[in-house]
Amino acid sequence: MILILTEAEDIHSDVVEAELRRRGASVCRFDWAEFPREASLSIAYRDGHKRVQLTRGRQALELTACTSAWLRRPSRPKVSPQIPDPLLQAYAGDECYQVIQDTWNALEIPWLPGPIHAIRRADNKQLQLQLATALGLEIPPTLMTNDPDAFLEFYRQHQGRLIDKLPSIVFPASQRKERELMRYTQHLTTRDVGYARRLRHSPVLFQAQVPKRFELRITVVGQEVFAAEIHSQVTRRTQLDWRRYDLGHTPHRVHRLPDEIRRACVELVARLGLRFGAIDIIVTPDDRYVFLEINPNGQWLWIEQKTGLPIRDAICTELMNPSRRHAFQEACS
């Protein structure tokens, strides 16, 4: 049985689940939001054996019997509103979240993209840049700081041609809003420089602006590499950050990667303890490949739809081929 952990509405999981079933695979799809209201977990150790039972209604599943698992985008557990005290309700929610993560982390099965601890480690932007450099990939001159003087010196070194990002990807959801808020990459302005002293309150990641011919979204699945050109400079909306999608006016094309860049991408994913990664790279007007970041659980379906690259097939093959030495074993060896 293949386990898919994701939220109720996830079109990426929909297409992969349909293909897995078409290939004859047994699939269990589960969202952490079902726990503990609609589902229960029991983890038992007896006589040297471990059992992890997931019960939903009358259905009981033995999770240690899973052959592989895909950790996509599960929601947080939802505790009972019948708990009257807000403090106790928050405590119960945190306990449920911790137990459910510990349960998946301890399942010794092949994971895609990788175990939870590997995904968290891979989200480290400093580690990403460090590994990319070690693998011979070019990166933009970068400074992450909350020191106003260090920022101003970096600003002068690059004649003000900088972009800024948050060190993490999203603002966490507040208690009043369930959805997360994402901040796009921004040009640094002279007005921003006037507020340099406010850096003391929180660090920001600054990078020298890299000229773009086009951008690449490189999806690595196991040993398979799918590179797509995103011609973000064609439309003003996507020139600085293609995540401001303008798909109707942004050409997407299949790209043939140089062998050394392809090998570096596969090795980067492997060194992070993953079997999947979505890598963003800029191709400059003089044909340099400049690494920006890797998303250990990035989106890919629009790339497949725009280019025809068979990414879902590769994901299904990876999930149905549990014989490979997987990330959990590598992390524990």
* CATH 3.30.470.20 domain position(s) in the chain: 211-319
Window from 3-7, 110-114, 147-151, 325-329 with minimum mean pLDDT: 325-329
Predicted confidence (pLDDT) per residue in 54-98, tens digit: 999 889 999 999 999 999 999 999 999 899 899 999 999 999 999
**Whole-angstrom Cα distance, residue 154 to residue 159?**
9
Q: In the structure, what pLDDT confidence band is assigned to residue 244 with cuts at 50, 70 and 90? A: low
According to CATH, the topology of domain 141-208 is Dna Ligase; domain 1 (3.30.1490)
Predicted confidence (pLDDT) per residue in 161-194, tens digit: 998 877 665 444 434 344 455 556 777 878 888 8
Structure tokens at 2: 């293949």
Q: What is the pLDDT of residue 57?
A: 87
Mean pLDDT value of segment 263-285: 96
pTM to 2 decimal places: 0.87
Mean pLDDT value of segment 14-22: 98
C-beta separation of 105 from 117 below 8 A: yes
* CATH 3.30.1490 domain position(s) in the chain: 141-208
Beta strands in 63-155 (DSSP E): 68-71, 111-112, 142-145
Ramachandran class of 221: left when φ > 0, alpha when ψ lies in -120 to 50, beta otherwise:
beta
- Whether residue 112 is predicted with pLDDT greater than 80 in this model: the reply is yes
- Whether residue 151 is predicted with pLDDT greater than 60 in this model: the reply is yes
Average pLDDT, the chain: 88
Mean pLDDT value of segment 257-279: 97
- Residues 6 or more apart whose Cβ sits within 8 Å of residue 59: none
Distance between first and last Cα of the chain: 25
Q: In the structure, what pLDDT confidence band is assigned to residue 332 with cuts at 50, 70 and 90? A: very low
Q: Which class is domain 211-319?
A: alpha beta
Q: In the structure, what pLDDT confidence band is assigned to residue 250 with cuts at 50, 70 and 90? A: confident
**Whole-angstrom Cα distance, residue 31 to residue 147?**
42
C-beta separation of 8 from 38 below 8 A: no
**Whole-angstrom Cα distance, residue 143 to residue 123?**
17
